Amino acid sequence: MTHRVVLLASGSGTLAQAIIDAEELEIEIVALISDNPDAQALKRAQESGIQTFLLPMKDSRDEWNEGIIQTVVSLSADLVVSAGFMRILPPDFVNRFPTINSHPALLPQFPGAHAVRDALAAGVSVTGTTVHWVDDGVDTGPIITQMEVPVLPGDDEATLHERIKKVERGLIVATIALILPTLERNV
């Protein structure tokens, strides 16, 4: 059974690419939505023949919220995957669509947009990545899977984040495979 998946991405799209390339997943990626016109993720999706939508933030947050909800409704998605999407999704969205997010820390430690920097500043010896269900908080939804990544001597934000991203790409694909059998299909 093939599930319909929508990807959300704001940046380079390496997580989205890992999902696009994962032949073992029984999914149809019906669209990639970005809020950033310069997101490399848009180009990656287009090169893979995936429909893209650009939804830049508007003056009215309510208007943007309604736009992303209506876009996903029109796509009949079974699962939404936030793969480096740097916007907080509205409660109406996450309460309506099963949505997962990949986060570059071992939640509940270091939620928010600067998780890698925060982990380094805290002096932890181990951080990692978490895939969790998205709720109406910031990185507060139920944890599905986690993997640890050691902090090495001499790590800076860029080197540590790159090692986390390598683990994150495998974990997001494995997590999607894990949860697909639990999803209801939109018919």
Active site residues: 103
| Cis peptide upstream of residue 111 (ω within 30 degrees of 0) | no
Residue whose token pair is 């893979």: 48
For 161, the token pair is: 């984040």
Phi-psi region of 10 (alpha: psi -120 to 50; beta: other; left: phi over 0): alpha
What do you get for the CA distance between the two ends of the chain, in Å? Answer: 12
